[in-house]
Structure 1
Amino acid sequence: MKKLYGTGVALITPFTESLEVDFKGLKKLLQHTAKGVDYYVVMGTTGEAATCSEEEKKAVLEFIKKNNSSKLPIVYGIGGNNTHHVIESIRSTDFTDVSALLSVSPYYSKPSQEGIIKHFQTIADQCPVPVMLYNIPGRTASNLTADTTLRLSEHKNIIGTKEASGNLEQCMKIAKYMPKDFLLLSGDDMQTVAMYSIGAKGVISVLANAFPQIFKKTKEYAFAGAFDKASQQLFKLLEINGPMYEEGNPVGVKYLLETMGICNANVRLPLVEASEDLQRKIQGLASGIKK
């Protein structure tokens, strides 16, 4: 799965003023991000999948397939805490031109590690494309431990993990013992270089929606072993990263994209658009970033 090395952009889903999917804005976003990313990640948390209907999700996926002028790989998100429903969603999805499935660890239910393992094994058994795990304890209220990830890495249809635990020691254990073809990816933009340095092959990024070329340069330096230069690229985004999540994701990055003329900042409830204070903060920080 070397085609999933480098930067995957966790695409936002633009909305019109009436909160319909804004396909014109989405097309502009695809063209903008293609300048630097290696693949598209569709309908993850950043894509507001939680507030999109099944019909909208499929319409967005089909649109991206048809407007993927750079022929980038596509990773599609289907996850949840109802294993049966996840399987039903997989069965009803057309995976033509989709390279992999990204599936978040079951949230809210707080299952045991054995429950998490059986959940993902069941998904991987049924999924027609390779499966990538997504560990983000801050949202799910449970952690895929390194041991759990390593057990799941033995499944022939589980190819990697997006690690957003923020626990580098845990990531190091995965990196040390994982199969050589297993994909360890950063799920935290600011840990990208650190993750590259321990053996990760890339990042699934929020800020790559706005700054794809910075992540391209970061990747190129990291793959060349020039981690100091890779860090200098990532340092450009250090101050603006926090405000991206200050009022919920993707509130910050959507406002940033609006200032860049790519799409507007509309989000669906329970999220609301960036406050005036946050808008001023993002404007000030963005103006000083050299791409």
Structure 2
Amino acid sequence: MQSLIGTGVALITPFKKDLSVDVEALERIVNYQIDGGINYLVVLGTTAENATLNKDEKELVIKTVLKANAGKLPVVLGVGGNNTLEVVEELKTRDLSAFVAILSVSPYYNKPTQEGIYQHFKAVAEASPIPVILYNVPGRTASNMLPATVIRLANDFKNVVAIKEAAGDIVQAMKLIQNKPEGFLVISGDDMVTLPMVLAGGAGVISVIGEGFPKEFSTMVRLGLEKKVDEAYKLHYLLADSIDMIFEQGNPAGIKSVFKHLGLCEDAVRLPLVTVNEDLAGRLGDFVKKIR
């Protein structure tokens, strides 16, 4: 899965002021990623406000991204949820031929045991005709997929090829890297610890800040993969304040404010999310001016 090494970005879904999907803005954002040196795109991840999109809107987002990308970059599709049967049904019925892998989040709210998490992903792996990237994000799911469970899945299913690890725990990430089977990829899902994870043996990142500043962030990851530590950390510290800011009042409200300052789309989000306040918007605008 060489196509998943480097910097992937979890694309937002831009909305117009009336909160309808802004197709033209989404096309601009995809082209901005391509021009910025991003390695692959993730469509309909949680950053896309997937939970507030209806079925027709999801299809529109997929169609728009694939059309704008025109085969230039590999594309990963978010297919996950806390109803295992529903996820399996989607995997069996959806045309996945345009995607290199699916990204599937660990079940949220239900708080399954480690065995429950294993059995969920066993069902996903058996149903998926393409490679599976596991997604561990305890801050949103209320349960942590432990390294032993991840390694068990990676050993038992050849199409479980990677994990997006977003526990924010560098020690846990290092245990995954230490014990993973050959070829399995440990991908950062936390922008702030991306560089340390890459230097420890990680494969890269699926990023939020990377879609706002694709050139700088993807260069940092590339330098990290090349073990050019000092150069990579120079870019890390250049971007560090912005990483804190974009998550200060929730994702994707922060990154959408960045996009508004970049002139790519409105900063509109759908309830229950709200736009960032004037103070944070101002600070993000100042940061964009400094970088650009």
- What is the TM-score when the length of structure 2 is the normalising length? 0.96
> Cα offset for 1:195?
0.6
- What stretches of structure 1 of length at least 5 have no aligned partner? none
CA distance in 1 between counterparts of 2:221 and 2:142 reads: 30
Residue type of the alignment partner of 2:134: L
User: Quick one: which of 167, 173, 184 aligns to 2:175?
Assistant: 173
Residue type of the alignment partner of 1:9: V
Secondary structure, aligned partner of 2:134: strand
> Cα offset for 1:70?
5.8
Contact 1:58 1:93 in 2 (8 A): no
Contact 1:34 1:70 in 2 (8 A): no
Aligned residues: 290
Residue type of the alignment partner of 2:231: K
In the alignment, what sits opposite 1:134? 135
In the alignment, what sits opposite 2:99? 98
Contact 2:261 2:288 in 1 (8 A): no
Residue type of the alignment partner of 2:254: G
User: Quick one: which of 187, 196, 204 aligns to 1:202?
Assistant: 204
Residue type of the alignment partner of 2:238: K
TM alignment of 1:1-20, pairs within 5 A: 1-20=1-20
**Residues 217-226 or 268-277, more deviating:** 217-226
CA distance in 2 between counterparts of 1:266 and 1:276 reads: 14
- Deviations along 1:86-120, one digit per CA (max 9) or x if unpaired, are 11222332212100000000011110000000000
In the alignment, what sits opposite 2:188? 186
TM alignment of 1:88-167, pairs within 5 A: 88-154=89-155, 155-167=157-169
| Percent identity for Structure 1 against Structure 2 | 43
Contact 2:112 2:143 in 1 (8 A): yes
Secondary structure, aligned partner of 2:210: helix
Residue type of the alignment partner of 1:275: N
> Cα offset for 1:68?
0.8
CA distance in 1 between counterparts of 2:286 and 2:177 reads: 38
Residue type of the alignment partner of 1:269: L
- Deviations along 1:172-209, one digit per CA (max 9) or x if unpaired, are 11111111200110001111110111111110000111
More helix by share: 2
Residue type of the alignment partner of 1:42: V
CA distance in 1 between counterparts of 2:248 and 2:211 reads: 17
> Cα offset for 1:278?
1.4
Contact 1:196 1:222 in 2 (8 A): yes
TM alignment of 1:6-45, pairs within 5 A: 6-35=6-35, 36-45=37-46
In the alignment, what sits opposite 2:281? 279
In the alignment, what sits opposite 2:221? 219
CA distance in 2 between counterparts of 1:97 and 1:71 reads: 12
**Residues 58-67 or 171-180, more deviating:** 58-67
CA distance in 2 between counterparts of 1:242 and 1:198 reads: 22
**Residues 88-97 or 175-184, more deviating:** 88-97
> Cα offset for 1:220?
2.4
CA distance in 1 between counterparts of 2:43 and 2:202 reads: 21
RMSD: 1.1
